[in-house]
């Protein structure tokens, strides 16, 4: 089962790589304007944010819902071939893909944490990072026409669906009787500083995910070197995923605070030394803490805090990567347009706000 979960992460994050790195270029190749591309790609984070609220109304993320999400993801992947050149149909294909992606990952994350535990989680999750970087490095050599990217995307979707289906059904057979789960009832308002901090962390990544390549090249860093910077960050992430187990025996909230402090330093280095390659590579190495350690500590803390574990993971991805990603992308665009030198100072300020929020949340009443 552990090998299957590793394969799932590999294929799932290969989809993410194709989606975020290559699909914007594909849409530009077929004639979409920047504003149209922005609208299409803003739909995914908004859907990811909205979907978990349906589950507060009594919907269950059970095996039936999971299978439906797999089928929806497969249909969405196929539909890109016929909707690519039509704005509204493509937008709905993108929304369908966002719904499918937002449901299947939390389901598998809970299985992974329950099966392998938080201390070994990183050694399995790192295969997602490997899938991300390998597909990116391969596809960049072959992306000559839009159909190439769509074929790669469909291949990764089919692989994700097949492996995800197998994991879910093996896990369902294994659980002969329901497990008694301890934890608090999921209440966003009771722990609002925690959720605000999780969201703000991803808002701070808006300048990096959306403008780092432009920012670096405009400060004299070559495009090839910028790609090496991206890759170096992912390699650092993989290394920490592998070795982070002992760290996760510590206080998870303190780990979140530590990761946020490192993230503030990372954004400040990027802001003040944009043309210093040694410091830029060092800043990129901190991605190990900003992403890998923060992500694992966050999902592990929510897994232990709440009894509704799948719902908690859904809200984590929805509020942080969904709404946080959306706000981060939009605000970073305005900041870079109006005051480009302040882009990563803004990121550092938002990360500092996230640190204060989680620090405050640690002292907040539990219920």
Q: What per-residue confidence (pLDDT) applies to 367?
A: 47
Rg of the chain over all Cα atoms, to the nearest angstrom: 20
- Tens digit of each residue's pLDDT (9 = 90 or more) over 143-188: 778 888 899 999 999 999 999 999 999 988 765 444 445 556 777 8
User: In CATH, what number does 2-174 get?
Assistant: 1.20.1250.20
Q: What is the pLDDT of residue 118?
A: 84
Q: How far apart, in whole angstroms, are the C-alpha atoms of residue 155 and residue 135? A: 11
Residues 110, 313 contacting (CB under 8 angstroms): yes
Q: Which residues of the chain, if any, have pLDDT below 50?
A: 176-180, 365-367
Within the chain, residue ranges assigned H as helices are 2-17, 23-29, 34-54, 63-83, 87-142, 146-174, 192-204, 206-218, 223-243, 252-272, 277-285, 287, 294-305, 309-316, 325-338, 343-361
Q: Residue 2's pLDDT is what?
A: 92
Within this chain, domains 2-174 and 192-361 share the same CATH topology: yes
Q: Quick one: pLDDT at residue 3?
A: 94
pLDDT at 177 (0 to 100): 45
Q: Where are the domains of the chain?
A: 2-174, 192-361
Dist CA 272 CA 279 (whole Å): 10
pTM comes to 0.83
Q: Is CATH 3.10.180.10 the right assignment for the domain spanning 192-361?
A: no
- Six token digits for residue 92: 């709905």
Q: Write the pLDDT tens digit of every residue in 358-367.
A: 998 765 544 4
How far apart CA 160 and CA 127 sit, in angstroms, is 13
pLDDT at position 226 is 85
């Amino acid at each position: 089962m552990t090998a299957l979960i590793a394969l799932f992460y590999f294929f799932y994050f290969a989809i993410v790589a194709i989606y975020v790195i290559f699909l914007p270029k594909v849409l530009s190749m077929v004639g979409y304007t920047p504003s149209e591309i922005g609208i299409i790609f803003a739909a995914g984070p908004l859907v990811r944010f909205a979907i978990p609220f349906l589950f507060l109304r009594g919907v269950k993320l059970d095996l039936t819902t999971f299978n439906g999400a797999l089928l929806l993801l497969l249909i969405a992947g196929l539909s890109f071939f016929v909707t690519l050149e039509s704005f509204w149909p493509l937008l709905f294909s993108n929304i369908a893909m966002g719904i499918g992606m937002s449901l299947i990952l939390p389901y598998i994350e809970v299985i992974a944490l329950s099966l392998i535990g938080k201390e070994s989680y990183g050694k399995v999750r790192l295969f997602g990072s490997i899938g991300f970087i390998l597909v990116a490095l391969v596809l960049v050599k072959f992306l000559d026409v839009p159909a190439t990217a769509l074929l790669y995307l469909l291949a990764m979707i089919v692989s994700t669906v097949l492996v995800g289906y197998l994991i879910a059904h093996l896990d369902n057979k294994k659980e002969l009787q329901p497990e008694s789960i301890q934890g608090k009832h999921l209440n966003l308002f009771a722990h609002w500083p925690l959720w605000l901090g999780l969201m703000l962390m991803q808002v701070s990544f808006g300048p990096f995910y959306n403008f780092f390549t432009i920012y670096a090249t405009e400060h004299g860093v070559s495009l090839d070197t910028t790609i090496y910077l991206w890759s170096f960050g992912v390699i650092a992430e993989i290394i920490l995923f592998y070795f982070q187990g002992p760290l996760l025996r510590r206080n998870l909230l303190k780990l979140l605070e530590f990761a946020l402090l490192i993230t503030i330093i990372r954004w400040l280095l990027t802001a003040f030394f944009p043309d210093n390659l040694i410091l830029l590579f060092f800043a990129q190495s901190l991605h190990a803490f900003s992403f890998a350690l923060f992500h694992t500590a966050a999902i592990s803390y929510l897994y232990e805090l709440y009894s509704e574990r799948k719902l908690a993971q859904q809200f984590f991805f929805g509020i942080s990567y969904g709404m946080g990603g959306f706000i981060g992308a939009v605000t970073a665009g305005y900041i870079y347009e109006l005051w480009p030198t302040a882009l990563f100072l803004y990121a550092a300020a938002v990360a500092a706000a996230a640190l204060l929020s989680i620090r405050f949340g640690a002292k907040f009443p539990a219920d």
